[in-house]
Amino acid sequence: MTYEIKGGNLPAVVCQVNAGETMVTESGGLAWMTPNMKMETTTGGGFGKALARTFSNEHMFQTRYTAEGGPGTIAFTSSFPGEIRALEITPDKPVIVQKSAYLASETGVELSTVFQKKMGAGFFSGEGFIMSKLSGQGTAFLEINGSVVEYDLAEGQEMIVATGYLAAMSESCTMDVVLIKGVKNVLFGGESFFNTVVKGPGRILIQTMPIMRMAEALIPYMPSKSS
């Protein structure tokens, strides 16, 4: 499989697959494809795994597209303005991603649900107590809201990330939640009460425009029921 990411801030990833090769996506990820791409909807590993994915805001069913009779083309698009980022997943380097970040992948990549070790990370941080894990072997594509900024954290090195901005991190990283210090900062700082602290070693991907922040910015311009 080869691919090209096109479209700027409204991106699509166009994949060229050989005969017999398969791409996997969730419901609604397909944009276009050649006629020889055979579609098959599956539970992606059984009903148990399908049900578990719903807890991390992923779809219960996955769709497999296989090129038959020769090479094929298939494209997947992001559901929100931003970037599509390709990740090379290997058995020794799984990646933890935010809810709904997974777009598509090769069949060697397994999508599963992972529970954060510290429950505070889920109840307060906005990143989610339940997240998704990409493991196995192959290329996976993520949806990034806005642009993406990457950091490689050394052992013990920390980065404080505001609610909703953490897109992905190496499984070797740990995540915790801290209360913003200072009463005035909490009450008048304009931020949430909590921040997410990510500790290395590993790589983190930060997105610059989470959907929730976009929604908050649009609320004052939405018509009210009384108008």
pLDDT confidence bin for 75, thresholds 50/70/90: very high
CATH code for the structural domain at 2-221 = 3.60.160.10
What pTM, to 2 d.p., does this model score? 0.82
Angle value at C-alpha 159, between 157 and 165, nearest 5 degrees: 150
pLDDT at 44 over 70: no
Rounded mean pLDDT of the chain?
A: 83
* 11 bridge partner residues: none
Domain spans of the chain, in order of start: 2-221
Instruction: Give the pLDDT confidence of 79-119 residue by residue, as tens digits.
Output: 889 999 999 999 999 999 988 899 999 999 999 888 765 55
For 185, other C-beta atoms within 10 Å of its C-beta total 13
Nearest to 11 by CA among 174, 141, 129: 141
